[in-house]
Amino acid sequence: MDKIIDYEPATPKPVVTEELLGRLEELMEEAAPGPWQMGYNVWGADVRNAHHDEFILENKAWEPSEVTLEFIVAARQYLPELIAEVRRLRKG
């Protein structure tokens, strides 16, 4: 897997580079379409596509906390907006 964040505190360049923003956009495009939501099934909590009831992450082998699942859902929902805001602020 490619390293997503190359953090070097001594360098003056921003940590959130245009390269990183582009890579995050690629990951979003390759991921299952949103919006995602948390749901519950016979095994416990899961993450699913809100429009198609397609499972994104079922809680069978891995038992993440509900907070972790909420974070996964929130990241899918708000990452596009955060990327757009970073670019808007950089333009001045």
Read off the pLDDT of residues 74-91 as tens digits, 9 standing for 90 and up.
999 999 999 999 999 998
Q: What is the pTM of this model?
A: 0.67
Q: Which amino acid is at 34?
A: G
φ/ψ (deg, to 5) at 13: -70, 150
Asked if 49 and 34 count as a contact pair (C-beta separation under 8 A), the reply is yes
Provide the token pair at 10: 């001594």
The pLDDT, as a whole number, for residue 92 is 77
The pLDDT, as a whole number, for residue 59 is 61
The pLDDT, as a whole number, for residue 89 is 92
Residue 13 binned pLDDT confidence (cut-offs 50, 70, 90): low
The pLDDT, as a whole number, for residue 47 is 85
Count Cβ atoms below 10 Å from residue 69 Cβ, excluding itself: 21
pLDDT in tens, 42-73: 777 788 888 877 787 776 666 777 888 888 88
The pLDDT, as a whole number, for residue 12 is 63
Half-sphere exposure of 21 (CA within 13 A, CB side): 15
